[in-house]
Structures are given as C-alpha cells and as structure tokens.
C-alpha cells in the first residue's frame, strides 16, 4: 500500500474537521468533486459556497450532484472568481467557515488555457484565511506541471511560508523523490485566538 494521493489526503484532513451543520467553501468548483464531498459532510443543516469563473464548471457540478442522487439544497454555486469570495459570503458566516478547498490549475476536459493564476489566487487565499474560523482548515492542491502552474505554485508556497506561526500552521504534503512537476498539497490550519501572541 502506498501513500494516499494529494487529493485523498486533502479530503482526509477536511473530513477530520468538518461536521454536519458547518459552513465550507469550494474555491475552485471544477467538476464538482470537492463540492459534493463538502456538501455530504456538512449535511442539510450546513452550507457550501462553490466558486468558479466558468459556467461549464457549474453545469458539470450540477450534473455530478444529479448522478450522485444528491440534492443541492445546501449548496450555493457562484459564477465569479475566488478572489471575490468574501463578497458572496453571508455576514454571519464570515469568520465561521470550517473548511476551504482549492484545487488549482484548469478544468479537466475543457479549455486548458483558462487557468488559475497567482494574480487571483493569492488574494483568494487571503480572503479564505480571513473567513476561516479558529482551527478551520484550508487545503490547496497545486499543479506545477502545466504552463503557468509552476509560477502559481511558487507564489502560493511563498505566501504560505510567510504566514506568521501565531496565525496559522502550514503543512506541505509532497513526494520528494517524484518529479518536480508532480501535484502537491499545502494545508493551512488557522490558529485559535488564545494561541496568538
């Protein structure tokens, strides 16, 4: 048995911290895999906000829920960039988000020239961190293998490395003996207020 994939490990980390009734964000909806995962964990009393800049991604996500036989009563799909996520989060949910998932890169099977970039991703990460509750988690799957992905991955890693320890813990999950273009995961846990300073 080998190590779990970066996507599976991201799910593992989120599953340990997300409970029925919680609020969560899928910052990059894509094909809806993480959106469905979050919706199942938060349950009917919870809420998942899902963001993507492509209507095709939102349509695929709706189809994924239909195939899974799952309703979307606890999901809000939003056609907008993840960098503007804070504008769409209900005031009562700001600072109360339990988990935010980012799966960067491009929409598989679609136009591969439409990619996430550091220009929007870094502001999105700042927004996500501010929206998280204490002990909330953010997972970021990075794909340095496509054109532009390496630049984004480096910028995200630099951003995460610069976070003060008093504000958050940062984990990197990566196979060191695999080629440098392989996907890897950063996970960030927000500190509790009483742990700061």
Measured CA to CA, the distance from residue 41 to residue 149 in angstroms comes to 30
- Could you tell me which of 55, 64, 69, 37 has the C-alpha nearest to residue 141? 37
Q: How far apart are the first and last CA of the chain?
A: 42
CATH code for the structural domain at 6-195: 3.40.50.150
| Chain segment 112-168, per-residue pLDDT in tens | 888 999 999 999 999 999 999 999 999 999 999 888 899 999 999 999 999 999 999
Q: Is the pLDDT of residue 186 over 60?
A: yes
| Cα separations in angstroms, 77 against 68, 81, 88, 136, 156 | 17, 12, 10, 21, 25
What are the boundaries of each domain within the chain?
Answer: 6-195
**Residue range 36-91, pLDDT digits in tens:** 999 999 999 999 999 999 999 999 999 999 999 998 999 999 999 999 999 999 99
């Amino acid at each position: 048995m080998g190590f779990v994939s970066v996507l599976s490990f991201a799910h593992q980390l989120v599953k340990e911290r997300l409970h029925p009734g919680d609020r969560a964000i899928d910052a990059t909806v894509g094909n809806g895999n993480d959106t469905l995962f979050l919706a199942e964990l938060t349950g009917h009393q919870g809420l998942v906000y899902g963001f993507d800049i492509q209507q095709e991604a939102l349509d695929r996500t709706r189809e994924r829920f239909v195939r899974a036989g799952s309703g979307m009563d606890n999901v809000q799909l939003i056609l907008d960039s993840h960098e503007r996520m804070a504008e769409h989060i209900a005031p009562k949910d700001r600072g109360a988000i339990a988990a935010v998932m980012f799966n960067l890169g491009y929409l598989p099977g679609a136009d591969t020239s439409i990619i996430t970039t550091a220009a929007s991703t870094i502001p999105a990460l700042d927004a996500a961190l501010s929206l998280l509750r204490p002990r909330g988690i953010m997972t970021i799957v990075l794909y340095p293998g496509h054109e532009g992905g390496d630049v984004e991955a480096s910028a995200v890693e630099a951003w995460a490395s610069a976070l003060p320890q008093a504000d958050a813990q940062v984990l990197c999950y990566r196979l060191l003996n695999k080629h440098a273009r392989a996907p890897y995961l950063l996970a960030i846990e927000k500190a509790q207020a009483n742990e700061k300073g």
